[in-house]
Structure 1
Amino acid sequence: MTSATLPTGLIALPGVYRPQADTRLLAEALAREDLGPRTDLLEIGTGTGALALHAAGRGARVTAVDVSWPAVVAARLNALRHGLPLRIVHGDFAARTAGRRYDVVIANPPYVPAPENRLPSRGPERAWDAGPDGRVVIDRICTGAPALLRPGGVLLMVQSAMCRPQDTVDRLATAGLPAEVTARTSVPWGPVLRSRRAWLQQQGLADEAEEREDLVIIRAQYF
């Protein structure tokens, strides 16, 4: 696997997030980073393991973490299927990586605004619901990034423009990681956003005629 190519024929168990436009955008960003046998990479929220496999295929030593057991099982099956070594662990990223540091951290966290304050504890919604402003997990990653990265290490994170990318850039800068938006794409609204249109409009997060969502890559480096 080279460039931004993602593995094909992935096993996706019920409720596991399948690679979509945000996955591909993050893969393109990762393709611009130098990876090799001496690169330790962490993926937060691995889903099927697509991005972790992409990185392992380029020689990186990859740890992938997910709070969903079906995702962990799917990623392990996909690693076996593709014959690539991955360390795949279940649980909260901060708890499962305590004391470890990485050269690259990638994340496609939940970022869809949801009416409920509490994150879902089961079901496919765990992959996208992220509280009323869509920032519950994003903010945790911003806070935790300095403890995860080695000096010179890079964080790549994808999120929706709906949940204020500038806040992410500012939070990372405050944490000691200069950051910027390095890529952007526009995609049609999916079924989750369409089902929440009235609520999103009430919250001032979307216009009545809005049909597309901007996705952005934020790149930060720890010096």
Structure 2
Amino acid sequence: MGEFEQDRAAIERHYLERFLPSSPWASLINNQPYLYQRQRQRRLREALVACGYGAADRLRDLTALDIGCGAGNNLAWLADLGADPAHLTGIDLLEPRVDVARARFKGIHFLAGDITETDVGGPYDVVMLIAVLTSVVNPAFKRRIVDRALSLLKPSGVFFFYDVVTRRPVTGTADYQCLTFDELDAYVAPHRFHYFKRDLLKPRLVDRLVPRHGVAVAELVQATGLFNIDGTFAYLQRRP
């Protein structure tokens, strides 16, 4: 049995038996995932531009890996921006989610497996780790995942990150544990993140504002940061 076999099994049970069957994220027609996805796309685009990947030729040749890719939406967004799908790779622990991604996005390469043990090729211009670490409660496993992600970056490559991150420790559950900024900073040291902290509007406000006033109004309220949750986007660029 591998070092993190019990952790992997717990993550699979959580997602397949509890999270995915009742998740509002099953469809972007729902208000919260739609608003949050738009913000994720905005932050990813900003990170690419800030790190020198904004030109059409840089995007076309971009190589990217999405760790915990789910149904493949993040990689599809890179393709929409101009990346060649043949240069995009996703890996997810849950094979049913990978099957969905393969059916939806034929030109992108998808793998099922544990990123710490699976050969995913590389190195890559962009490595994404989005909403993964909160579902990994073992700190040693979290560190192994981040170490692997950083090791797959090219010189000057971009690590793009999202998760729920708090200033102080928050009591979690057997399946879900928020990160702290100190913990996350330690995982990526000596690199330093550029943060977009508390970047997502509270779900109850999303469900009130979007149906009544539209997405644009919800995004304006979200941009103030006054009523946001601890959802945090971040990126860093590996130095040569």
**TM-score bin (small chain):** 0.5 to 0.7
- Distance of aligned partners of 1:67 and 1:101 in 2 relative to their CA distance in 1, 3 Å threshold: same
User: Are the counterparts in 1 of residues 90 and 109 from structure 2 also a CA contact under 8 Å?
Assistant: yes
Aligned residues with identical type, % of pairs: 21
CA gap 1:130/1:94 in 2 versus in 1, 3 angstroms? closer
Separation in 1 of the partners of 2:79 and 2:197? 23
TM-score (norm 1): 0.64
- 5+ long unaligned stretches in structure 2: 1-19, 167-178, 205-226
1:149-164 mapped onto 2 (5 Å cutoff): 149-162=153-166, 163-164=179-180
Match of 2:149, SS state, is helix
Secondary structure of the equivalent of 2:39?
helix
8 A contact 1:101–1:148 mirrored in 2:
yes
| Matched position secondary structure for 1:54 | helix
Aligned partners of 1:137, 1:182: CA distance in 2, in Å?
25
Number of aligned positions between the proteins: 167
Query: SS at the partner of 2:117?
Result: helix
Inter-partner Cα distance in structure 1 for 2:101 and 2:141: 21
Could you report, residue by residue, the CA deviation over 1:130-165 in whole angstroms, capped at 9, with x for unpaired residues?
327xx6664333222331100000000101024113
Aligned-partner SS, 2:71: coil
Q: CA deviation at 1:22?
A: 5.1
Unaligned runs of 5+ in 1: 1-12, 113-128, 191-210
Matched, 1:59 2:59: no
Hey, what's the Cα distance between the residues in 2 that align with 1:111 and 1:23? 18
Equivalent pair of 2:125/2:154 in contact (CA under 8 Å): yes
Deviations 1:80-110 (A, max 9, x none): 4xxxx10101101232245521000111133
Aligned to 2:132: 110
Q: Tell me how far apart the structure 1 counterparts of residues 36 and 144 of structure 2 sit (CA, whole Å).
A: 19
Q: What SS does the aligned partner of 1:161 have?
A: strand
Equivalent residue for 1:221?
237
CA gap of 1:213–1:22, structure 2 versus 1, over 3 A, is same
In 2 relative to 1, CA 140–189 (structure 1 residues): closer, same or farther, beyond 3 Å? farther
Deviation of 1:218 after TM superposition, in Å, equals 1.7
Aligned-partner residue type, residue 50 of structure 1: N
Tell me how far 1:27 sits from its aligned partner: 1.8
- Does the 8 A contact of 2:161 with 2:234 survive in 1? yes
Aligned AA (1:219): Y
Name the counterpart of 2:200.
Answer: 186
Letter in 2 for 1:28: R
TM-score, normalised to structure 2's length? 0.59
Would the aligned equivalents of 1:46 and 1:66 in 2 still touch at CA under 8 Å?
Answer: yes
Other-structure match for 1:131: 137
Q: Please give the per-residue CA displacement for 1:19-68, whole angstroms capped at 9, x wherever unaligned.
A: 63654433222112125221100001111111111112222421011010
Choose from 88, 91, 96 the match for 2:118: 96
Give the AA of the match of 1:107. L
